Amino acid sequence: MITVLFFAGIREVIGLDRIIIKKDRITVLQLKQYFESKYPLLSFEPFMTAINESFVTDEAMIKDQDTVAFIPPVSGG
């Protein structure tokens, strides 16, 4: 089980701030592809991604219990 977090515009489009899915031992890229198949109108590829609050690359492996966050370009400050 992994928890996936959404923020900002993507949160509003999907209408959820988090989804818990039964997937692990997949890469970030595979997770992005999974969401693109689920939401064919959305592109997940450009998102930065964090696993457990650290930025990771598309090749990073997601483990059971991980929290994955899709990070749109930030605009704080």
Partner 1 sequence: MVQSMFKIVREPISVEEVTNLVSRREAGAITIFIGTVRELTKGKKTLSLEYQAYDSMAIKMLNLIGEEIERAWPDAWVAITHRVGKLEITDIAVVIAVSSPHRSIAYEANEYAIERIKQIVPIWKKEFWEDGTMWIGDQLETAEYPEGRPSEEG
* Residue 37 touches partner 1, criterion: CB under 8 A: no
Verify binding: residue 15, partner 1, rule CB under 8 A. Answer: no
In whole angstroms, how close is the CB of 13 to partner 1 at the nearest point? 10
CB 73, CB 7: distance < 8 Å: no
Q: Is 56 in the site for partner 1 (CB under 8 A)?
A: yes
Instruction: Report the amino acid identity of residue 17.
Output: D
Q: Least distance (Å) from partner 1 to the CB of residue 12?
A: 8
- Within 13 Å, how many C-alpha atoms sit on residue 32's CB side? 19
Q: Does 36 bind partner 1 (CB under 8 A)?
A: no
CB atoms within 10 A of CB 68: 23
Instruction: Determine the straight-line distance between the first and last CA of the chain, rounded to whole angstroms.
Output: 34
- Compute the least distance from the CB of residue 28 to partner 1, in Å: 12
